[in-house]
A and B are shown apart, each in its own frame.
Chain A
Amino acid sequence: MSDQSENFIEQATAFQKIWMESMSKLMHAAFTFTPNSAPPELLRDIRNGILQALAESWNEFLRSPQFQDGMKQWMDNAVAFRKLSNDFMAKARKEMQAPSREDMDAVMLSVRHAETRILDRVEELAQQLNDLNQQPGGPARKSAPKPAGRRQRSARRPRQRAATNGKEKRP
């Protein structure tokens, strides 16, 4: 017998075991009640018991290696399919002489790298300026030093709405 069919049988057995246990829990929950319960309440208790047992079985199943293997396989397939469709679209756009997602990503990455380099340099300069200001006899410090880790994302000043002008009251 091939490894694949053995693996399949193993998975099927584990799956069957989980469901057999689940059914036995269901039966147990359905017929465990106190004789003093009123009938409508009793039905609700039975239903709650069944749902509780089901929830526990599902939780067990969702943690099982069988489910994890299945999930991994499903994810791999989804990723492979997405790559395939990305490649197809890239080719189609190339034929039409239109920019593809990859091209845009490449541009975005270049901009990001440029931005990072500029911001790093600005941080360095700010630090140097701060050090100069700290030196005795250096220029008087006008503002508090910028703490480490500060990163101004955009070179332009952030847009800011005055409370009176840009009021977007909800409701």
Chain B
Amino acid sequence: MTAATQFANPWFQWQQELLDQMRNNAERARVLPSLLERARRIRKGVSASEVVYEEDRFKLLHYVSDKKPRYRTPLVFVYALVNRPYILDLKKGRSVVAHFVEQGFDTYLVDWGVPTDADRHLTLDDYINGYLVNVMDFLRERTGIKQANVLGYCMGGTMSAMFSALHPERVRNLILLAAPIDFATQDGLLNVWTQSRNFDVDKFVDAFGNCPPEFLQASFLLLRPVQNLLRKPIDFCEHMHDEKYLDDFLATEAWLQDNIPVPGEVYREFVKYLYQQNRLTRGRMTVGKHIVKLENITCPVLNLMAGQDDLVPCAQSAPFNDFVGSRDRKSILVQQCGHIGLAIGGRAQKELWPQASEWLAKRDS
């Protein structure tokens, strides 16, 4: 029997598969005892950084590099309030922050900190017109440059868009990464579940204060129950003998389980004014005493979206470019990518971030 006919014969293939599986099982058994220890050793943020500014629980991290930055305008990453920001600097080879530092940008990351019960009354006004304005003032003093480049991810993107609309003179370039802007769509399950007939956010916040992290975690888990509760464990069992897969899996899972509460009033504003009333695109969103008008954004805008995003569907992010007053605006849609994959996925690291940094470099030189 020739090799070709052997391979075509299902019987041989079954045997080969059986042997492969036995070998893999032995590998899995070897890895299993060290899993907990490895999970414990996961580092939260890998690039070298220093805290340059603090206020209450808020911190501004500056990423240090051996090389002098090539671009003078500081780049500020603004992350959401629902998770920890180190997803943007998760591990070597999967760090958005490291990419920009390597490209010569003077990079900063906003870490909102973990709110306590005393922070339940903090509003979007405090975050946008308070902390973010103070950060920009600090950066102006530190670098001598009046404007900064802002990159906002997820809810941080929405907040960055509001900030850019309220303080256009402070933002040189704006990059949004999977940022929900237009809440009219019902593509995402969160949009369906948070409709006012399904969810009374006032009662919820009055009773709970801050939005509990367990509640957010359960909501995110339910967005893709089969993927999260079946496919993921199956894939894990199948690939746990693969060192690279295991590293990526543990780092991502450690971050996913690291939820933090959202200040009650911010949660109320976000759900009520955005998810339920879609005020931002209607020009009726108020932050403190000021109305957010997206047409006030006139700086260059780059809108990055993921085709497979369950948390922030494309229909929620894509309309942003139509609402802004900028003439220089661009969107990039990565089709085979999810919400987190857009930041840390292999394809995003290879294709998306080089494009984004090139876009920014052209507008910063």
Q: How many B residues touch the partner, as a band?
A: 35 or more
User: Are A169 and B48 in contact (CB-based, < 8 A)?
Assistant: yes
User: Are B48 and A154 in contact (CB-based, < 8 A)?
Assistant: no
A-chain residues with CB within 8 Å of residue B121 when the two chains form the complex: 108-109, 112
Residue A142 is within 8 A (CB to CB) of chain B in the complex = no
User: Are A82 and B208 in contact (CB-based, < 8 A)?
Assistant: yes
- Closest Cβ of chain B to A2, distance in Å, is 24
B-chain residues with CB within 8 Å of residue A47 when the two chains form the complex: 234
What's the Cα separation between A54 and B227 when bound, in Å?
A: 10
A-chain residues with CB within 8 Å of residue B118 when the two chains form the complex: 104, 108
Instruction: In the complex, identify which listed stretch (A9-17, A91-99, A133-141, A155-163) lies at the interface while the others stay far away.
Output: A155-163
Given A55-B227, A149-B288, A168 contacting B51 (CB threshold 8 A): yes
B-chain residues with CB within 8 Å of residue A158 when the two chains form the complex: 53-55, 134, 138
One of A39, A76, A83, A159 near B54 (C-beta < 8 A): A159
Given A109-B121, A160-B138, A171-B48, A79 contacting B207 (CB threshold 8 A): yes
User: Are B54 and A51 in contact (CB-based, < 8 A)?
Assistant: no
B-chain residues with CB within 8 Å of residue A147 when the two chains form the complex: 167, 169-170
What's the Cα separation between A148 and B167 when bound, in Å?
A: 8
Given A75-B204, A79-B207, A160 contacting B52 (CB threshold 8 A): yes
Q: How many A residues touch the partner, as a band?
A: 35 or more
Per-residue contact bits, chain A 3-27, to B (CB 8 Å; 1 contact, 0 not)? 0000000000000000000000000
User: Are B52 and A39 in contact (CB-based, < 8 A)?
Assistant: no
What's the Cα separation between A86 and B208 when bound, in Å?
A: 9
Secondary structure of the A contact surface, majority rule: helix
Residue A62 is within 8 A (CB to CB) of chain B in the complex = yes
What's the Cα separation between A38 and B46 when bound, in Å?
A: 42
Per-residue contact bits, chain B 131-143, to A (CB 8 Å; 1 contact, 0 not)? 1011000100000
A-chain residues with CB within 8 Å of residue B125 when the two chains form the complex: 151
Residue B3 is within 8 A (CB to CB) of chain A in the complex = no
User: Are A152 and B48 in contact (CB-based, < 8 A)?
Assistant: no
Residue B30 is within 8 A (CB to CB) of chain A in the complex = no
What's the Cα separation between A170 and B62 when bound, in Å?
A: 11
A-chain residues with CB within 8 Å of residue B363 when the two chains form the complex: none
Given A149-B290, A168-B49, A159 contacting B55 (CB threshold 8 A): yes
What's the Cα separation between A150 and B287 when bound, in Å?
A: 11
B-chain residues with CB within 8 Å of residue A160 when the two chains form the complex: 52-54, 138
Instruction: In the complex, identify which listed stretch (B10-18, B72-80, B300-308) lies at the interface while the others stay far away.
Output: B10-18
What's the Cα separation between A148 and B10 when bound, in Å?
A: 74
Given A39-B14, A58-B225, A149-B288, A68 contacting B192 (CB threshold 8 A): yes
Per-residue contact bits, chain A 73-110, to B (CB 8 Å; 1 contact, 0 not)? 00110010011001000000000000001001100110
What's the Cα separation between A168 and B48 when bound, in Å?
A: 9
A-chain residues with CB within 8 Å of residue B209 when the two chains form the complex: 101, 105
Residue A121 is within 8 A (CB to CB) of chain B in the complex = no
User: Are A154 and B55 in contact (CB-based, < 8 A)?
Assistant: yes
Given A109-B121, A149-B166, A167 contacting B130 (CB threshold 8 A): no
Per-residue contact bits, chain A 39-81, to B (CB 8 Å; 1 contact, 0 not)? 1100000010001001100110011000010011001100100
Residue B47 is within 8 A (CB to CB) of chain A in the complex = yes
What's the Cα separation between A168 and B52 when bound, in Å?
A: 9
User: Are B133 and A150 in contact (CB-based, < 8 A)?
Assistant: yes
Given A75-B204, A149-B290, A153-B134, A161 contacting B47 (CB threshold 8 A): no
Residue B71 is within 8 A (CB to CB) of chain A in the complex = no
What's the Cα separation between A160 and B231 when bound, in Å?
A: 47
- Given A147-B167, A154-B56, A163-B62, 8 more A-B residue pairs with CB atoms under 8 Å apart are A68-B192, A82-B208, A108-B118, A108-B121, A153-B55, A168-B51, A169-B50, A170-B48
B-binding residues in A (CB < 8 A): 38-40, 47, 51, 54-55, 58-59, 62-63, 68, 71-72, 75-76, 79, 82-83, 86, 101, 104-105, 108-109, 112, 120, 147-154, 158-161, 163, 166-171
**List of 3 A-B pairs having minimum Cβ-Cβ separation, nearest first:** A153-B130, A151-B129, A55-B226
For this complex, 20 residue pairs linking A to B, each with C-beta atoms less than 8 Å apart, are A38-B13, A55-B226, A68-B193, A72-B197, A76-B200, A79-B208, A104-B117, A105-B209, A108-B118, A108-B120, A120-B289, A150-B129, A150-B167, A151-B130, A153-B134, A158-B55, A160-B138, A163-B62, A166-B50, A168-B51
